[in-house]
Structure 1
């Protein structure tokens, strides 16, 4: 009867004309079209998605499960699930990821660091 909330749902928006000075902490999904001078951090241990649009600029650290970048990040990025670097992505800082998708045109000025996981990436179903 009731559908569970999809983990890729955007709950909040920072509009293009919005400038924030200070850290942003969020849960669920966040899309940034404006500018943030501070860290953008998702709640640890919870599914999260962060979308950084083409006109967005973040000056600070970014931490989220799923990160989609098409704007500018000046600082390190930590993605515990997947990071998607779209064609206009510009990152000045190290990128730490579990899985990475990078489109032609995306630029990273820093190290790409694959964070190893303790559990195997491929899980096989056990037969009864």
Structure 2
């Protein structure tokens, strides 16, 4: 999405909610489908379905935790971000808090003041036992 031309838009999710610039919501916001935030949320942003997408425009602000599968951030976040699938940080993104992601796309200019950690959905692999070589078979 970040690599698209400026006048090109990603296809809209059929169930998109918009919180307009100038709107301030105090309290947690739970959503399904897609949520586009141009305003401000003082509280947590929580997705209720696996395919949910949260978009924070450059005029948007979140003061609280974000827990979503897919987040596109281009505004200000004061709190931790947990993106279970994909996190896109655009050039105007300013995050003060820890960030957890599975896949990360970060544009030049984006800022994160906190820890960044990758979380894989794969289960840890067990390495095979080492093969011991016969000392006589190894050339000196």
TM-score (ref. length: structure 1):
0.84
1:98 match: secondary structure: strand
Q: 1-side partners of 2:13 and 2:46: how far apart?
A: 16
- For structure 2, list consecutive stretches of 5 or more residues without a partner in the other structure: 1-10, 125-140
Number of aligned residue pairs: give it. Answer: 114
- Check 1:115–1:9 CA distance in 2 against 1; reply closer, same or farther (3 A cut): farther
Structure 2 partner of 1:124: none
Moved over 4 A (4+): 6-10
How far apart, CA to CA, are the structure 2 residues paired with 1:52 and 1:23? 15
In structure 2, the partner of 1:22 is 27
Q: 1:95 aligns to what?
A: 99
Give the match for residue 67 of structure 2.
Answer: 63
The one of 31, 53, 56 equivalent to 1:52 is: 56
Change (3 A) 1:9 1:49: farther
Provide the rounded CA distance (Å) in 1 between the counterparts of 2:14 and 2:78. 25
- The C-alpha deviation readout for 1:24-70, integer Å capped at 9, x for no partner, is 000010000001000000015x2110000000010000011110000
| Gaps in structure 1 of 5+ consecutive residues | 1-5, 121-128
Give the Cα separation in 2 of the matches to 1:76 and 1:9: 27
Change (3 A) 1:15 1:91: same
* Residues 5-20 of structure 1: pairs in structure 2 closer than 5 A: 8-9=13-14, 11-20=16-25
Q: SS of the counterpart of 1:104?
A: coil
- 8 A Cα contact 1:68 1:84, kept in partner: yes
TM-score, length-normalised on structure 2?
A: 0.77
Give 1 or 2: higher strand fraction. 1
Larger Rg: 2
Q: CA shift at 1:119, angstroms? A: 5.4
